[in-house]
Amino acid sequence: MAKAPVSNEEQTPAPKGGNKLVMILMIVIILLLVAVVAVGALLLLKKPATDAGAAPAATEQKADAHGEKAADGHGDAKAGAPVTIPLGQPVTVNLASPNDAKLLQVEMDMVTYSHTADAAVKTNRAEIINNIMLVLSGVNAANLRTREGKEALQKELKDAINGVLEKRANLKDAIDDVYFTKLLMQ
């Protein structure tokens, strides 16, 4: 049997330029993928503008002549949006023996209309938490099971916090409200 003549096209190997093109495309795709992941991570990890600097600008307003002290945390004028100050970690105390509950744990947020009060709370946080613990340790667990008992505790805690802010930062009635975000008795 005779063999068919071999043409020139079949004898020469395929050019390797196709492999280089595939390699370049893979590198470009990988670089684009890395760029997309980096931008996505940057957007997710970036803090919102309202946390950083937009809130002070939005709530800071110039007061009239008879309400000027309100901007410093004094007076009755409540201009601007309220500022919520989280206490942070939960406060846990042992209750006195006549209580049927042995342990009380509270998480709370404070509300103010003054950015000066926000800074003063952060500066005097240790003393504020100490006074909160002193108030909580004297709580009667039976009273705390009622709505009136919880509201009375809110007022007592607000007064204790305002006492620290008045003494340390000269801010009278800077905290307007105290809200429980967690209240646990065991």
Per-residue pLDDT reduced to its tens digit, 83-103? 999 998 999 999 988 888 899
Q: Strands 175-185, 103-112: parallel, antiparallel or unpaired by DSSP?
A: antiparallel
Q: Which pLDDT tens digit goes with each residue over 19-68?
A: 889 999 999 999 999 999 988 888 888 755 444 444 444 344 334 333 44
Predicted pLDDT at 59: 40
Residue 108: CB atoms within 10 A of its CB come to: 22
Give the least confident one: 36-40, 72-76, 129-133.
72-76
pLDDT at 124 over 70: yes
Q: Which two tokens stand for residue 111?
A: 């509300």
Average confidence (pLDDT) over 145-164: 95
Predicted pLDDT at 128: 95
Predicted pLDDT at 78: 66
The pTM score is 0.58
Q: Which residue has the higher pLDDT, 49 or 184?
A: 184
Average confidence (pLDDT) over 106-111: 95
pLDDT at 5 over 80: no
**Are 181 and 169 in contact, with CB atoms under 8 Å apart?**
no
> Which residues, in sequence order, are CB contacts of 148 under 8 Å at separation 6+?
none
Residue 112: strand, helix, or coil: strand
Distance between CA atoms of residues 158 and 5, nearest Å: 101
* Mean pLDDT, the chain, whole residue set: 80
